[in-house]
Structure 1
Amino acid sequence: MSPIRPSQQYEAIADHLRTAMREGELNPGDILPSEAQLCESFHSSRGPVRQAMATLRNEGLISSGRGRRSIVLEAAETESFDAILSATSWLSSHGIEPGSRTLLVARQPAPADIAAKLEIGEGEPVVSLHRLRLGDGEPVLVERQHFRMEYGRHILGMDTDHESINRGLQQAGLNINNISRTLSVIPAPDDDAQLLELEQPSALLQLEMRTFTHAGTPVACMDYRYRPDRISMGMNNTRGNPSPLWVNVHV
């Protein structure tokens, strides 16, 4: 497995500024310190400072500047990388008590669609995990995860009702570096509707995700299906910076 990568300096600078915004030290409309001031505060060259500022612009937290010092935009919630990876971290970050009911955890041969997503041969072994995720005891989403065997083997001995899978994999030395997500709306299958306590016909928000190591090796593919009345999403954008959100239309 890849060793866990230490945080880079630009990440530390960006984290410091995010914390200042969250705790009210920097408020909407405030002008951020200049590049020179940030370089001095963090004993940094201009490169990491500029990368940190670009990160915050892409997150919609600060204005684009364009020759002027950036200002703090209206507060917008952002997801930490761990909250994207882990429903446990995501629910906890919103002050909600996470819970799980494991429906399946097993080693099994990969069907063609899962094998393609994990870039392995059809029929090769994977570890599959199927859980109902709860928030304060209420059903929030149905979670299906499939891991390449070299990573998923660590899950087989875990208490998947009570332990964080992401935390367990981190402790085993796995470094997940990047994530790809696709959001769709789908009709609720009867089994998912029953688990989520929905009357039929209903629709679900489906989030399909793939995770990768720093070397680009797929770790897992996930299929999360949310009760639509228990999730909302949003993002800020600034002119001159590409949006991390892409939108397709199917007619």
Structure 2
Amino acid sequence: MLEKKQARPQADAIEQIEAYIRKNALQPNDRLPGEREMCEMWNVSRTTLRSAIHRMTEEGKLYSQKGSGTYVAQPRMERNLRDMKSTSEQIRGTGHIPGTRVLYADVIECTRYLSHKLHLPLGHKLFFLKRLRLMDGAPYMLELSYVDYDCCPGIENISFHEESLYAELKRFGVQMAEGHETIGITYATEEESQYLQVDEETYLFYLTSTSVDTDGKIFEFSKSVARPDKVRFTNTLHRRADPEQKGSNEL
């Protein structure tokens, strides 16, 4: 009961902030009033207001600049987990500008861990591609891809600063039929925090996926960490159609 009582003032403050943004038609990067003014406007304590701002910042709705104030954040990219488009295609589809920094691209040997994920023998050749994915010039995802090298000999000579991995694999005759993706939460390591420009131990989305070709063979395994203030993940569910009812219903 006490927890609910404490959460209610924060929720009320969040509603007030969201209503203020809508009423005043604030756009991304527009500044909110100062904390003292907002406390007086809505008769809330400084502690409650800061708690609400912190929550909205974690959700990617606001951001703060030390000594300057609190601002409306750019909307996060929405990525549908059922969408098999490339990362660049997904970013463009939401009106943002994609970018890529290639951190590593070379042929490596399959480790025990990767052998299990790709169903390949130890020491098998893999193409390893490590990329920092950018959205509107800012880092939002660190992506590690491991591809069966038998599918694409010579692919390490291609520059992936601008080229799509899946587009190049198609040129090698690899056609993706399906993918399996899982999502969880992790905390930024020192290396990840530097690349993604977040504090160490900041929570991140953690994704793993396998891609299967038209012959039913796994040709790629990937791991990614993404900033939750830059992207959100959605999934569209469909109820199975009743045998006596045509079509399907979206939930």
How would you bin the TM-score normalised by the shorter chain? Answer: 0.5 to 0.7
Q: 1:89 to 1:79 in 2, by over 3 A?
A: farther
Aligned residue type for 2:113: D
CA contact (8 A) 1:142 1:195 kept: yes
Q: What residue number does 1:139 align with? A: 139
The offset of 1:89, in angstroms, is 1.1
CA contact (8 A) 1:126 1:152 kept: no
The offset of 1:79, in angstroms, is 6.4
CA contact (8 A) 1:130 1:143 kept: yes
The offset of 1:202, in angstroms, is 0.5
Asked whether 1:95 is paired with 2:106, we answer: no
Q: What residue number does 2:231 align with? A: 231
Q: What residue number does 1:171 align with? A: 171
Asked whether 1:151 is paired with 2:151, we answer: yes
Q: 1:162 to 1:214 in 2, by over 3 A?
A: same
Let me know the Cα RMSD of the aligned residues.
Answer: 2.0
Q: What residue number does 1:108 align with? A: 108
Q: What residue number does 2:19 align with? A: none
Q: Normalising by structure 2, what TM-score?
A: 0.61
Q: Normalising by structure 1, what TM-score?
A: 0.61
The offset of 1:172, in angstroms, is 2.4
The offset of 1:152, in angstroms, is 4.1
Identity %: 21
CA contact (8 A) 1:154 1:169 kept: no
Q: 1:127 to 1:194 in 2, by over 3 A?
A: same
Aligned residue type for 1:119: H
Aligned residue type for 2:230: R
Q: 1:198 to 1:215 in 2, by over 3 A?
A: same
Q: What residue number does 1:127 align with? A: 127
The offset of 1:151, in angstroms, is 2.3
Q: Structure 1 stretches of 5 or more lacking a match?
A: 1-75, 242-251
Q: Structure 2 stretches of 5 or more lacking a match?
A: 1-77, 242-251
Q: Secondary structure at the match of 2:210?
A: strand
Equivalences for residues 46-125 of structure 1 within 5 A: 81-83=83-85, 86-125=86-125
The offset of 1:82, in angstroms, is 4.0
